[in-house]
Amino acid sequence: MKAIAIDGDALVWTDHDEPGAPGAEDVLIDVAWAGMNRADLTQRAGGYPPPPGASEILGLEVSGHVRAVGDNVTHLNVGDPVCALLTGGGYAEQVRVPAAQVLPLPGGISLRDAAGLPEVFATAWMNLYMEASLKPGERILLHAGASGVGTAVIQLAKAMGNPVFVTVGSDAKIEACKALGAEAGWNRYNGSFVDAVKDWGGADMVLDPVGGDYIHQDQSVLNVNGRIVLIGLMGGRETQLDLGYMLMKRQRLIGSTLRSQPVARKREVMDALYETVWPLLASGEIKPIIDREFAIEDAAAAMDFLKSNDSQGKVLLRVAESA
């Protein structure tokens, strides 16, 4: 098969060993489309190595057709159109993945659009409703609101009854986030978000992919019993915590990564998506937000685009010629 290889500064679509027959609990997928994530850029740069046992090939989510199933897999059949959450290996013609991480397409969603669903909706669900245990009405401060993850969080939170305040990098992105259901927003190039979030009413949870000096600011807008869920380090890995706030306001700081979770935890997340989010996608209440697509051979150009911070929603890679 062909897959993307990292060759110095280049990404090359080249021959690669096939993943091999599926284990008893696995599914082998002929990949049609791969979703691109910010983590792929970090892995390419050497900063986010795959967990032990995972494919070295980039790519955390795909859509495609089932090529083969393991002996114990009963809910999927050869030829089924599916999408899958991966630990790696998506930028390739074939990928092997535990069946627990594979879902049928939501009703009415194309194979193309489905490639951008697993990673962002799994991240949104796990962090909002499992890590932070959000209750209806609790308020969210969401950084990088127009990102792939952000566009999923805004829509999911609105559907679940959780108001959202976003921070983003342009006024146009604030408007785009409001169109998806955010109540209010702040352009991060206009200084600190703290006063604007306090004026909005503060937050019970912050979904923070930035870290760095955002953590201290997050702390000062958190209501009592608030949770900061740290999911990324785009602003740096060093920070200053105010332990006084943490103690007196009973705050919690939670570090969270989806990729390294055991399959059993990913199964819980995927089951929740199938039960709660898939019907919302099928009814049109939640939509896949796709910014643009590139051919897999142009993966480097797609990464340049993501890196520019100009994207809104997902960037997809077309892997199969017929897709």
Ligand X SMILES: NC(=O)c1ccc[n+]([C@@H]2O[C@H](COP(=O)([O-])OP(=O)(O)OC[C@H]3O[C@@H](n4cnc5c(N)ncnc54)[C@H](OP(=O)(O)O)[C@@H]3O)[C@@H](O)[C@H]2O)c1
Question: Which positions touch ligand X (CB under 6 A)?
Answer: 37-39, 119, 123, 143-144, 146-149, 168-169, 173, 188, 209-210, 231-232, 234-235, 256-258, 306, 309, 311
Question: In the beta sheet, which residues pair with residue 318?
Answer: 33, 295
- Shortest gap between Cβ of 20 and ligand X (angstroms)? 27
Of 90, 1, 97, nearest to 37 by C-alpha is: 90
In the complex, the smallest distance separating the C-beta of residue 142 from ligand X, rounded to whole angstroms, is: 10
| Residue 50: Cβ within 10 Å count | 17
Provide the minimum distance between the beta carbon of 319 and ligand X in the complex, in angstroms, as a whole number.
18
Q: Which residues contact 26 (CB under 8 A, 6 or more apart)?
A: 69, 70, 73, 96, 97, 98, 99
Choice between 223 and 309, CB closer to ligand X: 309
* Whole-number Cα distances in Å, 99 to 77, 278, 289: 11, 17, 25
CA angle 50, 300, 118 (to 5 degrees): 50
In terms of CB distance, is 133 or 283 closer to ligand X? 133
* Residue facing ligand X at closest CB distance: 169
Q: Which of residues 28 and 153 has its CB atom nearest to ligand X in the complex?
A: 153
Contact present, 22 and 96 (Cβ < 8 Å): yes
Residue pair 293/320 in contact by the 8 Å Cβ criterion: no
Give the shortest CB-110-to-ligand X separation in angstroms: 20
Q: Where are the alpha helices (DSSP H) in 14-167?
A: 38-44, 111-114, 118-125, 148-160
Instruction: Decide whether 73 or 132 has the Cβ nearer to ligand X.
Output: 132
CB of 72 to ligand X, least distance (A): 27
What is the sign, positive or negative, of the torsion defined by CA atoms of 224, 168, 277, 66?
Answer: negative
For residue 272, give every residue at least 6 positions away whose Cβ sits within 8 Å of its Cβ, in sequence order, or none: 125, 129, 130
- Our CB check for ligand X shows the closer of 67 and 173 to be 173
Q: How far is the CB of 191 from ligand X (least distance, A)?
A: 13
From the centroid of its chain, how far is CA 186?
22
The counts of H helices and E strands in the chain are 11, 15
- CB neighbour burial string for 55-71, b if at least 16 within 10 angstroms, e if fewer: bebbbbbbbbebbebbe
For ligand X, the closer of residues 220 and 309 by Cβ is 309
Of 93 and 131, nearer to ligand X (C-beta) is 131
Residue 69 CB, nearest distance to ligand X (Å)?
A: 27
What's the closest the beta carbon of residue 36 comes to ligand X, in angstroms?
A: 8
Q: Whole-angstrom Cα distance, residue 323 to residue 311?
A: 23
Choose between 54 and 234: whose C-beta lies nearer to ligand X.
234
